[in-house]
Chains A and B, each alone.
Chain A
Amino acid sequence: GAGVSQTPSNKVTEKGKYVELRCDPISGHTALYWYRQSLGQGPEFLIYFQGTGAADDSGLPNDRFFAVRPEGSVSTLKIQRTERGDSAVYLCASSPIAGGTDTQYFGPGTRLTVL
């Protein structure tokens, strides 16, 4: 079956612009996670969805970041007024149910570069 997919694979934008990053989770997976990974670092938690609702958005760095999952499947991470420090790989993962020991399946990520 299809795994987690993310689009675009690469996004180059200018400082101050708005970007949207899309995640298509594995069909039927209830939980969806967004992470940010900087070079040489492990993933940094941003937000977690259980169904349509954001169960925890405590990892979002500031109010320029927002994510939605309106129908409980596809999710979009939105970044307003991008800054150079936002440059990173944005990873999405899904799992059948929420739980640290439940396997999270990761997508290939979107590499965001803010010039």
Chain B
Amino acid sequence: TQLLEQSPQFLSIQEGENLTVYCNSSSVFSSLQWYRQEPGEGPVLLVTVVTGGEVKKLKRLTFQFGDARKDSSLHITAAQPGDTGLYLCAGESPKDSNYQLIWGAGTKLIIKP
């Protein structure tokens, strides 16, 4: 069974600090997606990484896909209260049909003003 483990499960930091959250697996993924989910809403796609070693930036957010395509990280610079939410990673298996994503349990992030 393929699993995606996210760490930490919970993170509470002050506005202005930097942070990194991780998404790890022992399995290889064709691609990996990061989502942010706010209370009472569905997840919203932030980025998709496809190539091993790929780095994508979205304003203060930097996403990296591991060289072996088994892990990914999300780094936030100078976190702001608006970054608060549940960050989910989801991977597309190269073995299975290409419509089903494997989801992590998420990192709940709270940025205190």
Is chain B a partner of chain A in the same complex? yes
Q: How many Å lie between the Cα of A66 and that of B93 in the bound state?
A: 25
Q: How many of chain B's residues have a CB under 8 angstroms from any CB in A?
A: 27
Q: Is residue A93 within 8 Å, beta carbon to beta carbon, of the partner chain? A: yes
Number of A-B contacts (CB under 8 A): 69
Contact A100-B92, Cβ < 8 Å, known A56-B100, A106-B42, A109-B42 = yes
Helix, strand, loop or mixed for chain A's interface? loop
Cβ contact within 8 Å between B42 and A100: no
Q: Which residue of A lies closest to B88 (CB)?
A: A42
Q: Which residues of B contact A93 (CB under 8 A)?
A: 42
The contact string, 1 if C-beta is below 8 Å from chain B, for chain A 79-115, is: 0000000000001010000111101101111000000
Residues of B within 8 A of A (CB): 4, 9, 30-31, 33, 40-45, 48, 50, 88, 90, 92-93, 97-101, 103-106, 108
**Which A residues are closer than 8 A to B by beta carbons?**
4, 31, 33, 40-45, 48, 50, 55-56, 91, 93, 98-101, 103-104, 106-109
